[in-house]
């Protein structure tokens, strides 16, 4: 990895720029490629005409390929926010998982992701609560990595967070989700994004379980306690 601000060499994608304002990564954003094959996804992420990229691409077989230097700003997140971070591209490392969006994530791919996450978290001192979905920071606009991604597995390995018991089932859901990091959005959009990650099997309107789980996340991982920079 090159030093911040240096031109990287040996990486496949030309779609990157300097991180703005001297920022370093303090988030990791997970995506799925939503393309038929990993090769097609790689071609798109490396095509200058698309103006999209990610730092890492992991195939279904577990091959992790670095496309952009982590010190640089890849173009993977787009519009959205997480807590105080509005320019998420300047604050994050983006990981693309080769997946059509409606398929399970194979064991070799998940194992490779776990290994890579541990390395990136150590390299940039990123805590588990700062590992988020693309759908978390862009609710209503994005769905990846989708309802079939195993967030609880990552949390059990210390590579993400998962809500526990003890939350208040009467706490306002939107207030809790904003306190955890979700951006301002209509209530129903935030509910959908929250459930997509933490309760993908749930149906119907907001309930006490949603409120209790969201409140637990907010009280244990409040965004203002993480040193988020504007």
Catalytic residue IDs: 96
**Nearest of 118, 133, 37 to residue 77 by alpha carbon:** 133
10 Å Cβ neighbour count for 124? 17
Question: For residues 187 and 46, what is the distance between their CA atoms, to the nearest angstrom?
Answer: 37
Strands (E), the chain: 16-17, 27-32, 56-58, 64-66, 73-74, 92-97, 131-133
| Residue in the block written with tokens 């959205």 | 80
Contact 172, 211 (CB under 8 A): yes
Peptide bond connecting 145 to the previous residue in cis, omega within 30 degrees of 0? yes
220 touches 128 (CB < 8 A):
no
- DSSP percent split of the chain into helix, strand, coil, nearest 5: 35, 10, 50
């Amino acid at each position: 990895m090159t030093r911040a601000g240096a031109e990287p060499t040996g990486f496949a994608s030309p779609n990157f720029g300097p991180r703005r304002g001297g920022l370093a990564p303090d988030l990791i954003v997970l995506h799925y490629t939503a393309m038929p094959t990993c090769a097609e996804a790689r071609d798109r992420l490396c095509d200058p005409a698309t103006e999209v990229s990610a730092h890492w691409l992991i195939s279904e077989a577990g091959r992790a390929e670095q496309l952009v230097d982590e010190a640089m700003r890849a173009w993977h997140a787009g519009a959205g926010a997480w807590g105080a971070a509005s320019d998420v591209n300047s604050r994050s490392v983006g990981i693309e998982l080769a997946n059509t969006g409606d398929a399970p994530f194979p064991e070799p791919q998940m194992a490779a992701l776990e290994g890579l996450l541990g390395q990136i978290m150590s390299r940039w001192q990123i805590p588990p609560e700062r590992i988020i979905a693309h759908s978390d920071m862009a609710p209503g606009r994005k769905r990846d990595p989708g309802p079939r991604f195993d967030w609880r597995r990552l949390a059990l390995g210390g590579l993400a967070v998962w809500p526990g018991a003890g939350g208040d089932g009467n706490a306002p859901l939107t207030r809790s989700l904003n306190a955890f990091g979700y951006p301002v959005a209509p209530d129903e959009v935030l509910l959908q994004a929250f459930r997509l990650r933490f309760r993908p099997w749930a149906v119907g309107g907001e309930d006490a379980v949603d409120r209790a789980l969201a409140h637990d996340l907010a009280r244990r991982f409040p965004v203002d306690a993480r040193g988020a920079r504007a």
